[in-house]
Amino acid sequence: MTDYFTAVLMIIGSLFCLIAALGVFRFPDTLIRMHAVTKAGSLGAGLMILAHAVFFQSPGIFLRAVFIIGLLLLTAPVAAHLIARASYRSGIPLSGHTWIDELNDKKNK
């Protein structure tokens, strides 16, 4: 039964990582791409790490997995925010689909 649960977690995690990869290629600008990678990539990697913890059934591995997932969920959004802000400040043009530009008002002041 544990093997099936592990397989389901791995498949769902892999699908989320695939969705994140497709978002990098399909979305038109950097800000939207960073959103796709951060949300889907963090969830996908977290599910796959959780699958490893369930598969090995060791308290040490489980604690490490929880710690890694926590770090991933804390650091991935911050890193994506910093990369997106740096790309915006460097003047990379936004897509025509990005119609809300809240930073433009603050930049012009």
Write out pLDDT tens, residues 24-82: 899 888 888 888 889 888 999 999 999 999 999 999 999 999 999 999 999 999 999 89
Q: Which CB contacts under 8 angstroms, 24+ apart, belong to 32-40?
A: 32/95, 32/97, 32/98, 34/80, 34/81, 34/83, 34/84, 35/80, 37/80, 38/76, 38/77, 38/80, 40/16
pLDDT at 28: 87
Range of the domain at 51: 2-108
The count of structural domains within the chain is: 1
pLDDT at 106: 67
Q: Is the pLDDT of residue 108 over 70?
A: no
pLDDT at 109: 55
Contact by Cβ (8 Å): 66, 53 = yes
What is d(CA 69, CA 46) in angstroms, rounded to the nearest whole number? 5
- Going by C-alpha positions, the residue among 22, 64, 68, 75 that lies closest to residue 45 is 68
pLDDT at 107: 63
